[in-house]
Amino acid sequence: MAEIVMAYSASHAPMMAADRESAPREQAASFFGALRQVRDRATNSEVQAVVMISGEHFTNFFLDNLPQIAIGLGEGHQGPLEKWLKIPKVIVPGEPGLASHIMEQTVSAGFQPALSYKMKADHGFMTVYYELDPLMRLPMVPIVLNCTTKPLMTLRQCYDFGKALGDAIRSYPGLDRVALCAAGGLSHFVGEPRVGDIDEEFDRWFVGQLEKADLGDLLDTPNDELMQAGNGTGEVRAWVAVAGAMHGHAGTTLAYEPIYEWINGMGVVVYEDSLPSTV
Amino acid sequence: MSLYELQRCLFDYLRSMENATEGSPRPELSVEGYDLTDAERDALVEGDIAAIYAAGTHPVIVNGYCRAMGYKRADYRSLLETVKPDLEGKARWQKS
């Protein structure tokens, strides 16, 4: 059966690829240094595939048809779509066997994800995926969450989905070593007057919560309260799903930098199956 | 239903820009074929960001449209100066 040999969550601000040099050098070094650590761990673990969760940006779905969760089952995923993103345009290999297994198992667990054999990977996936594998050969199972269009899943629902996702990955017989990644967040504001603000207080609180054994306070946060930290900040739903998949294991914050030039709180939190259980 | 039509119009416009040949002039936004109110049509034709936002347009679409029009992050406050932030109560992470 597959093992989740590495799980992590990272911010996916488009500017980290579109205008990488605009960030203060020390902040960029801290953030990319953390992602480099993650890449090294993936290399050392000989990861065979990555399951990535990101928010929907109206790349795959629109208001005529918008699932809360969707899983990409295709043989490949076109990305990135944004012309201005400085990442080569490629077809990222898919992992249809694992994706289908996740689909079946999460439905059996009571969730109703949509499916797509033609999922595209926008900056939400590609910025973080490119840092994980610059050659972009690592097979990916993309999962999109609705993080911005009400009604939204609660954090507790995302956590529970993550638990089902983790169980699904660990029951897959076709691979041995899988990575799990959330891409999105931390705090940011999109298409509204506060664009450019970063809620540092929220960001530090949030990554601190992920390092705790008891996530109750975090999971009880109502959606409207979460929205106070920014209308783009709901992408942390993906981070909470990864925390659910890794329940029993505390996260470790490798980096947090409020990078105003990228209009985004930028963080990296990692989980390891080898860490002692916190429950 | 017309809020959907307004958003669809913007979404289709943004997609048409993505598909445009690099270096070609920016395509015109067309409101033909969309079931819009007069106010919505005016907002779109005039590129009135405040009116588009106030109509309830999804912020991801507002963001895409503003970027396509060449606005920068510093422009949002002035473009949307009439918008009041919808903040109620103290969040659990706030110390003060």
Mean pLDDT for the stretch of residues B48-64: 96
* Both structure tokens of A270: 């990692």
Q: Are strands A177-183 and A3-10 parallel, antiparallel or unpaired?
A: parallel
Tell me the C-alpha distance between A164 and A59, whole Å: 25
- Give the tens place of pLDDT for each residue, A170-199: 999 999 999 999 999 999 999 999 999 999
Q: What is the ipTM of this complex?
A: 0.92
User: Which residues in chain B are closer than 8 Å to A206, comparing Cβ atoms?
Assistant: 93
User: CA geometry: angle at A188 spanning B62 and A119, to 5°?
Assistant: 65
Answer whether residue A275 shows pLDDT above 50.
Answer: no
Strand order in the sheet with A114-116: A114-116, A69-72, A140-145, A49-55, A177-183, A3-10, A264-271, A252-259
Mean pLDDT for the stretch of residues A237-246: 98
- Give the tens place of pLDDT for each residue, A21-31: 999 999 999 99
User: Which residues in chain A are closer than 8 Å to B77, comparing Cβ atoms?
Assistant: 193, 195
- Give the tens place of pLDDT for each residue, A138-172: 999 999 999 999 999 999 999 999 999 999 999 99
- Give the tens place of pLDDT for each residue, A109-133: 999 999 999 999 999 999 999 999 9
pLDDT band at A272 (very low <50, low <70, confident <90, very high): confident
Q: What is the largest CA-CA distance in chain B?
A: 51
Nearest CB to A190; choose among B63, B80, B81: B63
Report the DSSP beta bridge partners of residue B34: none
User: Which residues in chain A are closer than 8 Å to B74, comparing Cβ atoms?
Assistant: 196
Contact A191 B60 (CB under 8 A): yes
Mean pLDDT for the stretch of residues A201-215: 96
Do A179 and A17 touch, CB atoms closer than 8 A?
no
Nearest CB to B11; choose among A62, A190, A221: A62
Tell me the C-alpha distance between A209 and A43, whole Å: 28
Tell me the C-alpha distance between A220 and B24, whole Å: 50
